[in-house]
Amino acid sequence: MADDAFTDEERAAVYRCIDSRRDVRREFLPDEVPDAVVDRLLAAGHAAPSVGFLQPWNFIVVQDVATKAALHAAFTRANAEAAAMFDGKRAGLYRSLKLEGLCEAPLLLCVTCERDRAGPVVLGRTHQSEMDLFSTVCAVQNIWLAARAENLGLGWVSILSLSDLRTILGIPEHVLPIALLCIGYVSHFAATPDLERAGWRRRLALADLVFSERFGARRRETP
């Protein structure tokens, strides 16, 4: 076994972090997130894997009340548009959901992707041009798990237009906003995802999603 192998306790902590991660929209406390903790979250994001070692991400830290209010107004407009896309009981359930914590969370973080950072031809992106976008999402997931390990709640707000996000945060046209994250200490972490508890969707069975050798070929379960 390698000298830097994880102990049983360390491995269990990693899996607990993954299993207890939640998309947090509520229960934010007003306590500020210390700069040292913010730096650790950013370092976790910057440690993410990236195609061609492109490291296409940028991180915009937002704490100003006016900026948060502008983002919340953009969310409110987009959320009204989204609600109109659902019919009947689904529309009513949608309107009852808490889908952001932009004003409640003490810290917001916007993660962007600078797609031309390494020029027009990038190792690993020659045949799958979206790999830089996927790399940036890996940075988001790193931040998410690091936040959980720091006992911070994190919620990803996707219900707002990219043009509003660009305008409010001054993001250039050649840079693509990927994620707007609400981050802060919370009163507690829910045992199950919010949308599952609200009856929006249930967690799918893993066995139904795993195939063997070819798509659709059910993998045999271990006796």
Could you tell me if residue 51 is inside a domain? Answer: yes
Q: Which CATH number do you get for residue 99? A: 3.40.109.10
The answer to whether position 147 is within a domain reads yes
Asked if the structure places residue 107 within a domain, the reply is: yes
* pLDDT per residue of the chain (223 residues) written in tens, 0 to 9: 778 999 999 999 999 999 999 999 999 999 999 999 999 999 999 999 999 999 999 999 999 999 999 999 999 999 999 999 999 999 999 999 999 999 999 999 999 999 999 888 999 999 999 999 999 999 999 999 999 999 999 999 999 999 999 999 999 999 999 999 999 999 999 999 999 999 999 999 999 999 999 999 998 766 5
Residue 158: inside a domain: yes
Residue 10 belongs to some domain of the structure: no
The range of the structural domain enclosing residue 50 comes to 23-189
Residue 4 lies in a domain: no
In the chain, the number of structural domains is 1
Task: Specify if 220 maps to a domain.
Answer: no
For residue 197, tell me if it sits in a domain. Answer: no
- DSSP conformation letters of the chain: --TTPPPHHHHHHHHHHHHH--B--S-B-SPPPPHHHHHHHHHHHHTS--GGG---EEEEEE--HHHHHHHHHHHHHHHHHHHTTS-HHHHHHHHHS----TTTSSEEEEEEEETTTT-S--TT-SS-TTHHHHHHHHHHHHHHHHHHHTTEEEEEE--S-HHHHHHHHT--TTEEEEEEEEEEEBS---SS-HHHHTTS--PPPGGGT-BSSSTT-BPPPP-
